[in-house]
Structure 1
Amino acid sequence: MKLFSPAISRLARLRLWQIEEWVNNPVAAQREVLQELVTSAQYTVFGRQFGFNKLFNVRTFKQTVPVHEYDDLKPYIERMMQGEDNVLWNTPVRWFAKSSGTTSERSKFIPVSEESLEENHYQGAKDVLTLYYRHNPDSGLLTGKGLVIGGSHQISQASEEISYGDLSAVLLQNSPFWGHWIRTPELSIALMDEWDNKIEQLALSTIPENVTSISGVPTWNLVLMKHILALTGKSTISEIWPELELYIHGGVSFVPYREQFRKLIGKNINYLEMYNASEGFFAAQDSPDEDGMLLFTRHGIFFEFMPLEEYGKKFPHTIGLNRVEIGKNYAPVISTNGGLWRYIIGDTIQFTSLKPYRIKVSGRLKHYINAFGEEVIVDNSDKAIAVACDKTGATVNDYTAAPIYFSDNGNGAHEWLIEFEKTPDDIALFAYELDSALKNFNSDYEAKRHKDIALRMPIVHAARKGQFNEWLSRNGKLGGQHKVPRLSNDRKLLEEILAI
């Protein structure tokens, strides 16, 4: 099989010139995407409502079409889920990705058209492979199998023709036949609902395979790898899968997990970050030496970027690629070949490079702590946790934090509940290092902490093992892409978990 690897590498490199075309001309690529989207949808219900046949440039598109959140598009999506065609998109939409609902308590159903599958999700995956082979021309990645922990829900039927499930389930169900040859486990195991049994079946079915790559949420992969080591009696994963060379991650920051993966795997492998959400495949790491992920500008999605201070306004101002700045937080606003129009996805991103355009996910619009003007986002907290772990020898599995409000008895603070894999010898020292790192990463937090005037020292609790998973289970969110929000601007979530 190793002889096959150079041939695969050459095939992958054939696509490089196409990738380089949109990388080198991103603004032109985006204009073409918008024109294709508007032209395709001009005779849909939505297109007729907003006069798509008269929209000839970006300016008139933004002046005519309002910015939407999910509830704004929900009436259209409900019509589509009842089988009506030509509502938001001009080709029949028979699949919907059920979001875990991190922006609200309700589930969201994101339309997935044939175009969004082929030109966005699958095209993005092919481009990731091409970019990986560019940096690793002798890779044996496709001589083995990719371990994929699939969706946490079986596919459900809204009607005889309409199906839905979480994104990974939809992608697995619609993947081309050759995709099943290079993936493990079999589909019936990948889509199992019950996670205790699923981990057991995943382990038993994948141990004999030649696994060369792993992808999925870090927490569940850690659980799986530890179970595999327990079943086999081996010390490291590389003893079981000696050809393992790549871990693909996304959805949550990998910073708190990197050291655990290194120890469990037992050898150096490559790590690659992707930004693939229910709404679309947006970006992926194109170089192991660069901070950030390459923005995919020719994959059926038109991007706008909303400065955070615009969020909540009736007519928020957005900017294009030619006006973004490095290091500033933006909320992406997307229009897609699945029928989302000027849609706020709910994440916040920062640009790390402008030539080419690279981004990193910095948090969620509604996952932050700003009770005292400190504006702490997930990017700050992930980095601070990593520093505190490094300083104290601790290892963190998961965490969440919320504000303690001013009271007659004292000023405010942040309260942290942290599930440690390796608990620090001194929790107070960990809290000190966490606080120091947050001051270093966030000047607003540092200002509020000055002389304890607004904020006093953070309060850190060690959660018992499994406490976060128990909360997820009670809320029907155990498994797959579901995760406990890292930061909350109120105390509801924290108090629910503390009460378990």
Structure 2
Amino acid sequence: MDVLNTFMTWIFKIRIGQIDNFKENPIEVQQETFFDLIKTARKTQFGKKYGFSDVRSLADFARQVPVHTYEEMQPYIEQTMKGEQNVIWPTDINWFSKSSGTTGSRSKFIPVSSESLEDCHFKGGKDMLSLYVNNYPDSKLFTGKSLAIGGSSEVNTLDINKNSQYGDISAVIMRNLPVWAQLARTPSLETALMSEWEEKIEKMARETMHENVVTISGVPTWTIVLLQRIMEITNSKNILEVWPNLEVFFHGAVAFGPYRRLFEEIIPSSSMHYMETYNASEGFFGIQDQKDSDELLLMLDYGIYYEFIPMEDWDSDDPKVIPLQEVELDKNYAVVISTNGGLWRYKIGDTVKFTSLTPYRIKITGRTKHFINAFGEEVIVENAEKAIEIAAEATDAIVVNFTAAPVYFEGADSKGAHEWIIEFSKQPNDEQAFTGKLDAALREINSDYDAKRYKDMALDRPRIHFAHQGTFEKWMKCRGKLGGQNKVPRLANNRDYIDALLEILK
């Protein structure tokens, strides 16, 4: 096994030279990526519509192709889902990653071409390992199994086209992994692709607790649920009693900071490593390349061309969009991508700031709108407002103002929740019924929230404070924010606003 580990470590380190190349020549690599994309897609329906054959420069592209939201890309994606090819990308697209969070519908479907799968998602996963073994040359990464904790991973066939399949991105990746990667992972593919989470967690726990797990990759929320269940089954004080060779947790999707203390409690080892990645349905964008850092190296040779919208233009109908070479440090930008999966000048909704320009490193700062995504639930303002409306109507209440924030895990046996402060001009006729209706409406509106709330496994029932009239006005006055142009922040992914309001409620 040591011989295999040495050989595999050497293989993965070969890639470091190519990573160094785009770190040293970022603009040249991005320009090469751009022209490859334009040339490849010039005869697609989208390429013909926007004159890709006439694009000779980045300026031509910016002038001819508008920035697209998901709703604006959706007609092209739906054509492809129905089986029509060469619409947005010349090679056949039969896989789609299902993701919630769009303002216009319960779920969105992101096209996954063979190129985006191989040259972006798979490449990102391999680079994660390359950078890790480069930072930790004494790693025993390849002496055991990798535990992959995906999302709700059932793969489905579209009713409108039997040749098209969809699932969340982890399901699409797992279903298409090469043989060597399948052999190195646990649990079985059958278990990993289960959609019923209570049964899935139980099966994962019992399948993996006897394996030699060296690495874990997944979202912190579900990882904690699984580890807690394994410790319960095995009557262990910590997970190292089950997996003594565990050395790294590759995490992403939500901010890790609030979870760190809980992981250190469950995995009490100074030699345990944590490495962040930035991957999504649309692509694999960033990897932590330095030890003990919260910065992510922007990966520039994955078939993705990047542009950025400064914060002041996020809501503009004609936003200023800048290329990578024009970004500045410590400013918030909305990310715009053109990809080898057929997304063109597409606003992914994420916001970042650059912490380094040589090389380009970033931190994820949030979304372009207020949101809660502490546990991977991606609740946006529109979700919250609709749920409030439904609950108020059902309980004969009139809402004046509200805000909500996460309640983070407080111990090894705790769960997360959402905490709401809601002010009424007319109180609900039944406060418990209001809470139930709000929760049920959110579950119906947002599939990711619904998954986290399933049988209270990751998220508990919402905690609601029914505030007296004048609460928000008093708080806004204290902040110097009274006036029509100043709005109460509906959602926040931290507790700054809600903790201040709770002081007023005392």
> Is 2:420 aligned against 1:418?
no
Answer yes or no: is the 8 Å Cα contact 1:68–1:342 preserved in 2: yes
- 1:235-287 Cα offsets, whole Å, 9 max, x none, are 01011101100001111000000000001012131101000000000011011
1:197 aligned counterpart, secondary structure: helix
**1:3 correspondence with 2:3:** yes
Contact 1:399 1:419 in 2 (8 A): no
CA distance in 2, matches of 1:77, 1:144: 40
Distance in 1 between residues matched to 2:222 and 2:79, nearest whole Å: 35
Does the aligned pair in 1 maintain the 2:329–2:355 contact within 8 Å? yes
Matched, 1:278 2:281: yes
1:104-143 map, 5 Å: 104-143=104-143
Matched, 1:31 2:31: yes
Tell me how far 1:317 sits from its aligned partner.
0.9
How far is 1:19 from its partner? 1.3
Q: Could you tell me how far 1:419 is from its partner in structure 2?
A: 5.2
Mark the CA change 1:481 to 1:308 in structure 2 (over 3 Å): closer, same or farther: farther
Distance, in Å, in 2 between the alignment partners of 1:288 and 1:65 is 40
TM-score (structure 1 length as normaliser):
0.78
Q: Which residue of 2 aligns with 1:194?
A: 196
Partners of 2:210 and 2:71 in 1: how far apart? 46
Task: State the alpha-carbon separation in 2 of the partners of residues 397 and 107 from structure 1.
Answer: 14
Aligned pairs, how many?
421
Displacement of 1:106 after TM fit? 2.5
Contact residue 400 and residue 417 of structure 1 kept, 8 A: no
Partner of residue 349, structure 1: 352
Q: Aligned ranges for residues 184-263 of structure 1 at < 5 Å? A: 184-263=186-265
Contact 1:167 1:277 in 2 (8 A): yes
Structure 1, residues 369-401: CA drift from partner, whole Å, max 9, x if none?
A: xxxxxxxx98xxx8xxxxxxxxxxxxx999999
Distance 1:173 1:401 in 2: 30
- Secondary structure in structure 2 of the residue aligned to 1:421: coil
Q: Deviations over 1:197-235 (max 9, x none)?
A: 111101000000000011111111111111111100110
Give the deviation of 1:101 after TM superposition: 2.4
* Distance in 1 between residues matched to 2:378 and 2:18, nearest whole Å: 42
Q: Secondary structure at 2:258's aligned position in 1?
A: coil
Quick one: distance in 2 between partners of 1:259 and 1:121? 30
Superposition pairs of residues 95-110 of structure 1, within 5 angstroms: 95-110=95-110
Alpha-carbon distance, 1:98 to partner: 0.6
Counterpart CA distance in 1 for 2:176 and 2:119 is 13
Return 5+ residue gaps in structure 2 as ranges: 386-399, 413-418, 420-435, 463-487, 496-506
Going from structure 1 to structure 2, the CA distance change for 1:85 and 1:102 (only over 3 Å counts) comes to: closer
Q: Aligned equivalents of 2:124 and 2:47: distance in 1?
A: 27
Write the letter of the residue equivalent to 2:407: I
- Structure 1 CA distance for aligned equivalents of residues 79 and 37 of structure 2: 20
Aligned to 1:75: 75
Q: Are residues 1:315 and 2:318 paired?
A: yes
In structure 1, distance between residues paired with 2:15 and 2:338: 25
Question: Mind listing any 5+ residue stretches in structure 1 that lack a counterpart?
Answer: 369-376, 383-395, 405-410, 424-430, 432-465, 495-500
Q: Counterpart of 1:31 in structure 2: which amino acid?
A: Q
Deviations 1:293-329, CA, capped at 9 Å, x for gaps? 0001111000001012112322211111211111111
Residue 349 of structure 1 aligns to a residue in which SS? Answer: strand
State the Cα deviation string for residues 465-492 of structure 1 (Å, max 9, x = none). Answer: x99998875654344899989xx94379
| Alpha-carbon spacing, 1:18–1:398, altered in 2? closer, same or farther (3 Å) | closer
Structure-2 change in CA distance of 1:471 and 1:182 (3 Å): farther
Task: In structure 2, give the amino acid aligned to 1:139.
Answer: S
Change (3 A) 1:234 1:398: farther
Q: Distance in 1 between matches of 2:378 and 2:118?
A: 36
The answer to whether the 8 Å contact 1:100/1:481 transfers is no
Q: TM-score, normalised on structure 2?
A: 0.77
**Residue 42 of structure 1 corresponds to which residue in structure 2?**
42
Contact 1:22 1:29 in 2 (8 A): yes
DSSP 3-state at the match of 1:256: helix
Q: 1:415 to 1:12 in 2, by over 3 A?
A: closer
Asked whether the equivalents of residues 295 and 362 of structure 2 are also in contact (C-alpha less than 8 Å), the reply is yes
Judge conservation of contact 1:148–1:185 (CA < 8 Å) in 2: yes
CA drift at 1:15: 1.5
Q: CA deviation at 1:103?
A: 4.6
Q: 1:115: Cα distance to partner?
A: 0.4
Structure 1 residue 13 displacement after superposition: 1.5
> How is 1:294-313 mapped onto 2 (pairs within 5 angstroms)?
294-313=297-316
Mark the CA change 1:313 to 1:417 in structure 2 (over 3 Å): closer, same or farther.
closer
Q: Deviations over 1:123-158 (max 9, x none)?
A: 111112111111111211111111111231411111
Counterpart position of 2:93? 93
Task: Write the deviation string for residues 139-182 of structure 1: whole angstroms up to 9, x where unpaired.
Answer: 11111111111231411111221111110000011111111111
Rounded Cα–Cα distance in structure 2 between residues aligned with 1:412 and 1:104: 23
Runs (4+) off by over 3 Å: 102-105, 396-404, 411-417, 466-485, 488-494
Cα 1:43–1:398 change in 2 (3 A) is: closer
Task: Using the TM superposition, give the Cα deviation of residue 36 of structure 1 relative to its aligned residue in structure 2, in angstroms.
Answer: 0.3
User: C-alpha distance in 2, partners of 1:53/1:226?
Assistant: 56
Counterpart Cα distance in 1 of 2:50 and 2:24: 32
> Is 1:6–1:137's contact at 8 Å kept on the other side of the alignment?
no
2:316 is aligned with what amino acid? K
Matched residue of 1:92: which SS?
coil
CA contact (8 A) 2:145 2:185 kept: yes
Show CA shifts across 1:29-72 (max 9, x none).
00000000000000000000011011011111001100000110
Please say if residues 377 and 452 of structure 2, whose CA atoms lie closer than 8 Å, have aligned partners that are also in contact: no
In structure 2, the residue matched to 1:14 is 14
Aligned to 2:477: none
Mapped partners of 1:94, 1:226: distance in 2? 37
Q: Secondary structure at the match of 2:410?
A: strand
State the SS of the aligned residue for 1:6. helix
1:166-185 paired onto structure 2 within 5 Å: 166-185=168-187
